Structure 1
Amino acid sequence: MTATTTTTTADATTSAAPEAVPVKRSAAMIASIADPGVPTTSAPFGHALAALGERDQRVVGLTADLSKYTDMHVFAAAHPERYFEMGMAEQLMVGAAAGMAAVGLVPFATTYSVFATRRAYDFLCLDAAEPRLNVNIVAALPGLTTGYGPSHQATEDVAILRGMPDLTIFDPADALDVEAIVPAAAALEGPTYTRLLRGQVPRILDRYDYTFEVGKAKVVRPGDDAVIVSSGLMTMRALLAADTLSADHSVELSVVHCATLKPFDEATVVAQLDTDRTAFTAENHTVVGGLFETVAGALVRRGIAKQVNPIGLPDEFLDAGALPTLHDKYGLSTQSVVDRVLGALR
C-alpha cells in the first residue's frame, strides 16, 4: 500500500486523513515501541530480506497492499522482478505463496497480523502447513503495537496459530532477532509465522551475550531474586526493568527470552523456573493461549507445582488511543514490569 491508496487499514488511513486530524495523535497511535535511550534500526526485516535475496535467487516477496507498512518496500526496491503486489487479498496471497514454494521458490509474504490470522488461517493451514511448504508469513502490528483498536490489534494471533501442526512461530525482541530470523526461516522445512517489529525497531540484545537459534530459549540476563520468561518486545521491557530493579531496588531479575514460541524450548524454560525464585511471564499478547499458558502447560506436564505471575494483555478487546498510554494502561510498559515484580516480592 502506498500513502495515496484509499483503504481501511490503519496506517494508510492516517496518511490519507483530512488535515483536520491531529498529527500528534496519529503519530502517538503508531509510535515506536523503543523506550527512551534505546537505539533503533530502520526496517531490519526489509534490509535482511533484500540481503538474503542477493544471496539466494529463489527468494521472492509478496504483500497484501502493505509494502511500506511491513518494510517489504526495501526488498521491492532491491529486487523488483521478484516482488509481487497482491492487493487487499490475504487469502490469495497465502495461496500464491504456497504455489511458489511448491515449485521451489522461497516466499516471504507480509500483511498485518490480524489479516494473516483472522482472514487467511485456512489457506495457511491447508495450502502451506499440511504439505509442509516453506511459506514465510511476516506479520506486522502483533499484539498491542498500534493504537487503532481491535480491528488492527492482533492480541490473540499466537493463540489462533499455536494449534496448527508444523508451523514455526517467531516472536523477535528487537532488530537483532529480526535480522537473524529471516535467513533462519528461509532454511526451514514447513511454514513460519513471524510477529514483525517494523519501522524504527529497538536494538538491545547486542548488549548481551546472545545469539538467536531456532527453537531455543536463552538466558539473556541472569538474576538470583526473580525470573521472567518473555518474548517479543516484552523481552526489551524486561531487560530495561531488570536494569531499574537492580540499580534502584537491589533486585536481580533473570530474563529468559523465547524468540521461538513454537516449537517451544520447554527444557530450558522449566529448568529456569524450577527454582525458589519468584516467576513471571511477559508477552505482548493476551494471557489466553500464548506464552503464559505455554509455560504453564510445560510445568504441569513435568509435575512441577510453581506459581507463575503473568504479565500480558487482558482477555478483552482493547481501547484505541496513543500507544504509550495504552502500554501503561494494559501493563506492558517498562515501569509496569518493575511495579509487578516489586509487588510480587513484597
Structure 2
Amino acid sequence: MQLIDDSAVVRGLTRRWLTGVDGVELVVVSTDGMQGVADATKVRPDIIILDVEMPRMDGLEALPHLRRAAPNAKIIMASTLTHKGANVTISALSKGATDYLPKPEASQLGGAEAYRDALIEKIRLFGKPEEAKRPFPAPMPLRPASVKPNEAPRPALKIPSKPELHKPPTRWTRPNAIVVASSTGGPQALQAVLPEICKKTDLPILVVQHMPPTFTSILAEHLNATCKHEVAEGQQGEQVMRNRIYIAPGGYHMFVEKKGATPTIGLNQDAQVNFCRPAADVLFNAAAKVYGAALTAVVLTGMGADGCQGVATIVDQGGRSIVQDQKSSVVWGMPGAVFNAGLAHSVHPLNEIADAVGKSLHGVMS
C-alpha cells in the first residue's frame, strides 16, 4: 500500500502502526500529491491512503492522476473533521475514491486509537476483495420489533438455510414513504440512486448513511444540488413532507413518530446500535410503526448488518424491501445480511435500484 500525507507526524505514526500487521506492507510513503502520483506510477499500489489537505497538490487534485497511475487501487481519503475536509472528501467520493477515514487533528494523533483501528480495518478489508464481497451474518435471532406497546412478542423469523428472495405480500399497500440505509460506498451509491428515485416519486425519503457530524451536512448539500427533492439533515420535530429527503445527522439516531396524525422527525443521542449512531435499525423500526405496510426499504452497500433487524420489522408489517446486489456493492455486508436472512423482495445492481423502487410503488416486484 501507499501513504500520501504531508504531515511527518502522521507518516511516522502510520509506519509504526502498520509495522508487524499481518498481511500489510507499506511499500511507499509520499509527502504530497505530486510526489504521490509519481510514486504510484512506479509501484502501482493496491491501496492508497490519500490525505485531503496538502501543499503543491491536494488530495482532490491528485485523485484523477492516481486513478490513471494505479487504476486498480482502492483509494481511501484521510480527512480531518472540518467543513473543508468533509467537503473535499464528499467530492472525492463522487469522483472515484473508494472510501474515507475521519482523521483527528495532528496534535491529537498520539492517542488516535480509533483512527488507527479504522485504518487497519479498512486496509484489511480492501486488501482482500473477497472479504469486501462477503455478506456479514444477520443478527440472531431475527425478531421484528413489536408495533403495539402491549402486543405479545412475535416468533423469531426463520433464517433460511439456502437464501432466497422473500415472497412479496399478497395484498399490496401503496407506500407513503421510502427509507434507505447505506455505509461503506454509500455516498457514491446515494449520489447515483437518489436523483433517479426523485424522478419517479414525490414520496418522502429518509436516509441513514453512517458518517460523522459535518460529513452528513456536506453530503446533504451535495445531494441537494442533484436531486429534484429538497435534501437536508433531519431536524427535531419537523414534519415529514413529500418532495423531501431527510439525512440522519451524524452523531444522532433519526426516527419517525406520530404527532397527532402527522409523521414528524425525532432525533436522540441514545447508545449506539450496531456500533453506529445514526443506525438504520432505529429509523426502520420506528418508520414501520408509523407507516405499517405503506413503506419501502432500500439497503445499499455497507459493512456490517445494520438495517437487517429493521427490514425484518418492515417485512413483518407487509412493507417492501429492495437491496443492492453483491457485484455492484463496495462491501456486501448490509444488503447481504438482508438477503441471507431471507428478507429481500428483490436484488438489483446499483443502476437498477431506482427502477425497482419505481416498480414497487405500483405493486410490481421484479
TM-score where L is the length of structure 1: 0.39
Instruction: Decide which structure has the larger Cα Rg and report it.
Output: 2
More helix by share: 1
TM-score where L is the length of structure 2: 0.38
